Amino acid sequence: MKKRALICGVGGQDGGFLAQLLLRKGYEVLGTSRDIQISRFSNLEALGIRGDVQLHSMAVNDFRSVLHVIHKTQPDEIYNLTGQSSVSLSFEQPVETLESIATGTINLLEAIRFLERPIHFYNAGSSECFGDTHGVPADENTPFRPRSPYAVSKAAAFWGVANYREAYGMFCCSGILFNHESIFRPERFVTRKITSAAARIAQGSKERLVLGNLEVYRDWGWAPEYVEAMWLMLQQEVPDDFVIATGHTYSLLEFVDEAFLACGLNWRDHVESSAQFCRPTDIKVGAANPARAREKLGWVATSGMKDVVRMMVQASGVEIKNPQ
């Protein structure tokens, strides 16, 4: 019998790559979106797998909708990748962010409990929950100090998962993922904004790239590798939470420099900083210690920041000028 996996939020970056991974592993893959009649699923199309994924409409903030889909699909594993995904946008839409992330997660957990099925549940956590650790690499025991509505919502969802695991003995866990990128990021994400602009400028555009604070530091990895860690978490005998990251931190300025170097350009000729793109509160340094994932899951990131930049630039149609 094939395992059945339900991916909530299958139309997003991680949902597409996870669906591709699970199909390769022989799963029957089902995916949800709020309204499958109007969702484009362009990532599934680009990966050539849309016809292989059974799609269902589900509003994660509506318990009846969640219960109906889980009862109908009878999955063995559920991956919760849904919810508002932009930190910047969460300052403009805090209520939608909280409902789609925190309430949605509780609805999924409660539906699993109500149906009394031995479903393994994965929840997409976020490094944003840690806030600013002042350069000290965060691990699974680092306290949360969220600094955005998005991070507050993710922290609430994380503790909801922990509570259901402890109170009801459910197999549910959270992956605390640091930044992970790909060409499927929309341009509201700064990494895609940078690599796409650098590619356009290399192809003749006269635009200026305007960014916020260039002196923030992040741990950037490659999204297709991170979905492997999600799957590995649900294959363990005992559920646990894991920090997923490369373990290496770079400034946004270094990311910008690398993107323009890959295009044979000097970033100073094309980039400027503006307070308009700075968040009300932000994290200065996001640093990670993914030792538990290495020791218990056998998972290690193989693509670092420079690899990520080159792959994103190349996918934008530019020949890399300074290959490693």
Is the per-residue pLDDT at 279 higher than 90?
no
Query: What percent of the chain is predicted at pLDDT more than 90?
Result: 84
The pLDDT of 276-285, averaged and rounded, is 74
Concatenated DSSP letters for 42-104? HHHHHHT-GGGSEEEE--TT-HHHHHHHHHHH--SEEEE--S---HHHHHH-HHHHHIIIIIH
Is the per-residue pLDDT at 176 higher than 70?
yes
Catalytic residues: 126, 128, 150
Is the per-residue pLDDT at 280 higher than 80?
no
pLDDT attached to residue 135? 86
The pLDDT of 168-195, averaged and rounded, is 94
Is the per-residue pLDDT at 96 higher than 90?
yes
| pTM, rounded to two decimals | 0.94
pLDDT digits (tens, 9 = 90+) for 102-124: 999 999 999 999 999 999 999 99
Is the per-residue pLDDT at 281 higher than 70?
no
Least Cα distance to 62 among 121, 32, 22, 103 occurs for: 103
pLDDT digits (tens, 9 = 90+) for 44-83: 999 999 999 999 999 999 999 999 999 999 999 999 999 9
Counting beta carbons within 10 angstroms of the beta carbon of residue 94, is it exposed (0 to 12), middle (13 to 18) or buried (19 or more)? Answer: middle
Q: What angle do CA 125, 97, 63 make, to 5 degrees?
A: 85
pLDDT digits (tens, 9 = 90+) for 293-321: 999 999 999 999 999 999 999 988 888 87
pLDDT digits (tens, 9 = 90+) for 213-272: 899 999 999 999 999 999 999 999 999 999 999 999 999 999 999 999 999 999 999 999
**Separation of alpha carbons 157 and 108, rounded Å:** 11
3-state class of 220 per DSSP? Answer: coil
Concatenated DSSP letters for 244-280? ES-S--EEHHHHHHHHHHHTT--GGGTEEE-GGG--S
The tokens of 282 are what? 């932000």
Is the per-residue pLDDT at 1 higher than 90?
no
The pLDDT of 190-195, averaged and rounded, is 94
Least Cα distance to 176 among 31, 89, 293 occurs for: 293
Is the per-residue pLDDT at 165 higher than 90?
yes
Is the per-residue pLDDT at 17 higher than 80?
yes
Q: Binning pLDDT at 50, 70 and 90, where does residue 23 land?
A: very high
Is the per-residue pLDDT at 88 higher than 90?
no
What's the chain's average pLDDT? 94
Domains, the chain, in order of start with CATH, read 4-180+223-244 (3.40.50.720), 183-219+248-287+303-315 (3.90.25.10)
**Separation of alpha carbons 288 and 137, rounded Å:** 4
pLDDT attached to residue 188? 83
Higher-pLDDT residue of 88, 152: 152
Handedness of CA 299, 189, 56, 97 (dihedral sign): positive
**Separation of alpha carbons 172 and 30, rounded Å:** 19
Is the per-residue pLDDT at 323 higher than 80?
no
Is the per-residue pLDDT at 41 higher than 70?
yes
